[in-house]
A and B are shown apart, each in its own frame.
Chain A
Amino acid sequence: MTEITQTPDVPAFSFTSAVTLCVDFKNPQSYFAKDPSHTLESDFDLRIDWQPMLVPAMTRPPTRVADENRGTQHRRMRGEYYEKDLQRYARVRGLTLKNIYRNPDSTTAGAGLLWAKRFSADIVRGYVDRVFDRYWSELLDLEDPLAIGHLLDELGAEGNKFVEYARDEGGIELRELQGALRAAGLFNVPGYVVQGEIFYGRQHLPMIRWLLAGRPGKGPI
């Protein structure tokens, strides 16, 4: 299970921070957005409001077949391209990027982010860093409450209590959040929300910086 169905009467999420960033730990583009988003925080002396958002995992491109129609061929080529592109920028960034087609249920890791937010911004940052880095090095099971609890313990965030939270309240909280984020118009990750506008992808960071700086001069295109 990776998608939470939105109920029609769910109130939309209210964005109160200068920058909200929705991520899914199993999503490689979310991982790639992490460090430049930390830099944004430092440069503008702000705290990003990190929110867990569950989206479908990347799917492996279809295998080439003899009677492939154009649509299937297009999806295959696009999928093959995206895999190469991810590996290309992983090399550029010096990031480890193991199997991009894993499809864990990231609910528990998402609940861990909500739990970390009960403590401090430093703990949130440490949590985001460790979960992403370990998952993409295949050193962390996003579905394992004990592993997530242990990681939270490392950060001093009462990981022992997290297991119970993840089983009950955390799951409900995360589920409600998914509905509220979707009601606010979000459907993908990494999704930045700045001044009421949604931007998918770290390629928008120059625009986000320009907005945060008060729109000086000509905007980046």
Chain B
Amino acid sequence: MSSLDLSDFDPLGSDSALIVYIDYKSPYAFIAKDPTYAIEDQLGIAIDWRPLTLDIPSYLGSARLDDKGKVAESNRTPQQWSGVKYAYRDARRYAALSDYTLRGTTKIWDSSLASIGMIWTKAQGPVQLRRYCDIVYERFWKRELDIENPEVIEGLINEAGADTDGFEGYLVGDGRRIHDEMQARIFAAGVFGVPSYVVDGELFFGREHLPMVRWLLDGSKGNAPDIAYREFAG
């Protein structure tokens, strides 16, 4: 099963009004999930969700914690550590508002299998994709999920209500090829982080831009809004 034909893949273009790039190992992408759903539901649009599998060590250094949560290995600068620690504290306080658990990870995960699972599930429908995203995010951030295990990913797809027939081969064949080629093209197009939003070819990095994204999608009525983390429900 080929979930995506890359011949007409445009990192900054889509048939959908909104492209959203996510990575399951990003706490900020996790926190952006529900406010982004809210915009999708309120405006009645179909979001083109896409995976951006981050290569974190290339820009933020790498680190691994031991069983007691102490740093076992690290090549991060003090400034990088300050930024990373703040990012987790920040994401955690917002996660708490939605009753989500957000535990710091003990290593930098390779989330490419989960990304390939996303591409596979997306091809089967938006309902299955949303369920898959919810399950992966919520369990991963409770440290209940090994997203580097192919069998685990297949189980999640099944649980999301999507067909898994052929997924095992896809994961190491077409899925891997499509994923890797997509990543190269996405990065080359200037999309470097998650969550990222693309409206009419314009890139917005971070959920603080959701007021602007919503304003653009809703016809640019009135004054353009400033950045803000805010509630969109209701």
Enumerate chain A interface residues (CB-CB to B < 8 A).
Answer: 32, 36, 69-71, 73-75, 77-78, 80-81, 85, 89, 92-93, 187-188, 197-207, 218-221
Contact = CB atoms under 8 A, between A and B. Distances in A.
A204 B86 CA distance: 14
Given A73-B187, A221-B98, A203 B59 contact: no
A85 B226 CA distance: 11
A13 B203 CA distance: 39
A202 B58 contact: no
Given A81-B192, A187-B82, A206-B230, A75 B97 contact: no
Nearest to B86: A200
B20 interface: no
B227 A203 contact: yes
A77 B192 contact: yes
B226 A221 contact: no
Interface in B187-217: 187, 190, 192-193, 203-206, 208, 212
A185 B218 CA distance: 40
Contacts of B35: 221
Given A71-B58, A78-B59, A206-B228, A219 B97 contact: yes
Interface of B: 31, 34-35, 55, 58-59, 79, 82, 86, 90, 93-94, 97-98, 187, 190, 192-193, 203-206, 208, 212, 223-231, 233
Nearest to A80: B190
Contact of A198 (B34, B86, B203, B231): B86
Given A77-B187, A77-B192, A220-B229, 20 more contacts: A69-B58, A78-B192, A78-B193, A81-B203, A92-B223, A92-B225, A93-B226, A187-B82, A199-B90, A200-B86, A202-B227, A203-B208, A204-B229, A206-B228, A206-B229, A206-B231, A218-B233, A219-B231, A220-B231, A221-B231
B207 to A, nearest CB: 8
Nearest to B78: A187
Q: Which of A75, A85, A198, A203 has the most CB of B within 10 A?
A: A203
21 contacts: A32-B226, A70-B187, A73-B187, A74-B55, A75-B59, A80-B190, A81-B192, A92-B225, A197-B93, A200-B90, A201-B227, A202-B228, A206-B228, A206-B229, A206-B231, A220-B229, A221-B31, A221-B34, A221-B98, A221-B230, A221-B231
Can you list the 6 inter-chain pairs with the closest CB atoms, starting with the nearest? A203-B208, A219-B97, A71-B58, A74-B59, A70-B58, A206-B230
B224 A207 contact: no
Contacts of A203: 206, 208, 227-229
Q: Which of B31, B34, B97 has the most CB of A within 10 A?
A: B97
Contacts of B34: 221
Given A71-B59, A74-B192, A81 B205 contact: yes
Contacts of B31: 221
B108 to A, nearest CB: 14
Contact of B208 (A78, A92, A201): A201
Contacts of B58: 69-71, 74
Contacts of A202: 226-228
Contacts of B187: 70, 73, 77
A71 B62 CA distance: 12
Nearest to A29: B227
